[in-house]
């Protein structure tokens, strides 16, 4: 069949050049009222849009102090995962790894706790009759333990991400309407522990689900972009992907993903080089040099694993 030529515009209709078309588009954009952010600012929760290979969905994210949050329960998720046995790996004195079941690990931990308590009592007893040097050494050990406890307290004051999750799975909704319907239903989820949740569920409307540009992430494009080579890398896309991946890995308790993005890892080096390269100046020049040394294939394979692990714990909702 011969290819049909495109229809010509009506003679009575004026043609718009590129400048007129752009102006018309800007006018439509200006006429569209901006989303009201007052509600989100009050409840300190934000709508988020995430694109994954399986589709694009809406969810919610907040940041709170770690001590205020109960982490999502991953027990049911892990039991359903055929590739994740409920086991623990323990290193022996001979640097050999021994895999034991949870029950054995719990019993071993209980024995270790008893041993630690006995050791503490012995130290207190010895301290009473110890020399000045020994007492000083014992006090130094106690100070080190106190410092460790202080570090734990500081970690509790750190702001951490929490998403609309339930039993270790991220809830993603294909439409704003379905997200609002879920929130109003009172269904269990991990964000319901926030003190502002009831107010959000009472006031939220579908029109409010309008994520800001900085809360929109395209994880579905990351692997393909990395495969394109250094010159094709979209710095903003990759930096934002790292931010959302870290947040999701923490909130969903995905230690493998956190390890892959941890300080000193190859993907963290990629992230630092990308951030340096967009800053300009000498730092930008050095960042671009570092990027040239990062293997595109290694980076794309690493990110394919990350996107796959995040996708595996998504609960899609229509």
Q: Is residue 206 part of a domain?
A: yes
Whether 94 and 204 share a structural domain: no
The answer to whether residues 213 and 271 belong to one domain is yes
Q: Are residues 198 and 257 in the same domain?
A: yes
Q: Which residues of 39-63 are buried (b: 16+ CB within 10 A; e: fewer)?
A: bbeebebbbbbbebeeeebbbbbbe
Helical residues (DSSP H) of 158-261, grouped into ranges: 176-185, 197-203, 222-227, 235-251, 255-260
Residue with tokens 């007893």: 125
Instruction: Extract the tokens encoding 44.
Output: 């300190």
DSSP designation for 215? G
Q: Is residue 57 part of a domain?
A: yes
| Residues of the domain holding 56 | 38-74+160-317
3-state secondary structure of 144: helix
Q: Are residues 198 and 239 in the same domain?
A: yes
**Cα angle at 247 between 244 and 253, to 5 degrees?**
130
Digit-by-digit pLDDT tens for the chain (318 residues) are 444 444 444 445 445 455 555 555 455 444 444 567 999 999 999 999 999 999 999 999 999 999 999 999 999 998 876 555 444 444 444 444 444 444 443 444 455 445 556 555 665 555 555 556 655 665 665 665 555 555 555 555 899 999 999 999 999 999 999 999 999 999 999 999 999 999 999 999 999 999 999 999 999 999 999 999 988 999 999 999 999 999 999 999 999 999 999 999 999 999 999 998 887 777 777 878 888 888 889 999 999 999 999 999 999 998
Domain count, the chain: 2
Q: Give yes or no: residues 111 and 186 share one domain.
A: no
Interatomic CA distance for residues 162 and 195, integer angstroms: 13
In this prediction the pTM is 0.69
């Amino acid at each position: 069949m011969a290819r049909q030529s495109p229809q010509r515009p009506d003679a009575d209709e004026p043609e718009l050049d590129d400048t007129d078309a752009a102006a018309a588009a800007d006018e439509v954009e200006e006429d569209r009222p901006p989303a009201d952010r007052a509600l989100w600012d009050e409840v300190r929760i934000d709508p988020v849009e995430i694109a994954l290979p399986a589709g694009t969905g809406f969810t919610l994210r907040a940041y709170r102090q770690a001590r205020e949050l109960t982490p999502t329960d991953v027990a049911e998720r892990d039991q359903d995962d055929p590739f994740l046995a409920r086991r623990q790996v323990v290193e022996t004195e001979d640097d050999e790894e021994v895999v034991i079941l949870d029950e054995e690990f719990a019993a071993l931990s209980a024995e270790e706790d008893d041993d630690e308590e006995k050791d503490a009592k012995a130290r207190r007893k010895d301290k009473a009759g110890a020399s000045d040097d020994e007492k000083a050494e014992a006090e130094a050990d106690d100070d080190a333990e106190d410092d460790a406890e202080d570090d734990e307290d500081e970690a509790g004051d750190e702001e951490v991400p929490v998403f609309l999750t339930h039993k270790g799975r991220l809830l993603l909704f294909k439409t704003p309407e379905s997200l609002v319907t879920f929130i109003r239903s009172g269904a269990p989820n991990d964000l319901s522990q926030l003190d502002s949740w009831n107010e959000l569920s009472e006031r939220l409307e579908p029109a409010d689900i309008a994520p800001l540009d900085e809360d929109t992430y395209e994880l579905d494009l990351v692997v393909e972009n990395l495969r394109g080579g250094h010159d094709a890398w979209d710095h903003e896309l990759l930096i934002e992907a790292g931010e959302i991946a870290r947040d999701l890995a923490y909130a969903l308790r995905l230690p493998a993903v956190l390890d892959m993005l941890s300080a000193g890892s190859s993907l963290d080096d990629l992230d630092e080089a990308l951030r340096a390269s967009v800053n300009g100046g000498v730092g930008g020049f050095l960042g671009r040099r570092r990027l040239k040394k990062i293997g595109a294939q290694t980076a794309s394979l690493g990110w394919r694993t990350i996107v796959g692990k995040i996708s595996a714990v998504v609960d899609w909702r229509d």
